[in-house]
Amino acid sequence: MQRSRRHASGEEPVDFVEASSFGNFLRMVPEDLRESLRVALAAAFEARRGPEGIDLREYVEVFVASRAR
């Protein structure tokens, strides 16, 4: 399944991931480097912005398992 999200600015997708990661986003990055990486990520997303914003597509697979009885 493919879903699409549109963001108005480069900061929006970074904010979205931060809010969705339960505090784990950039956790593995040393604290003194986190802000500069966050700014660089926002700039990279901003570079993709078109007239309607930044369109990001995600692909989701859902698997359902059942146990034989």
Banded model confidence at residue 15, pLDDT cuts 50, 70, 90: very high
> How far is 11 from 41, CA to CA, in rounded Å?
8
* Residue 60 in this model has a pLDDT that exceeds 90: no
Of the chain, the percentage scoring pLDDT greater than 70 comes to 100
* Residue 3 in this model has a pLDDT that exceeds 90: no
* Residue 2 in this model has a pLDDT that exceeds 90: no
Q: How far apart are the first and last CA of the chain?
A: 30
Going from N- to C-terminal start, the domains of the chain cover 2-59
Listing DSSP states for 41-64 in one string gives HHHHHHTT-BTTBEEEEEE-----
* Residue 1 in this model has a pLDDT that exceeds 90: no
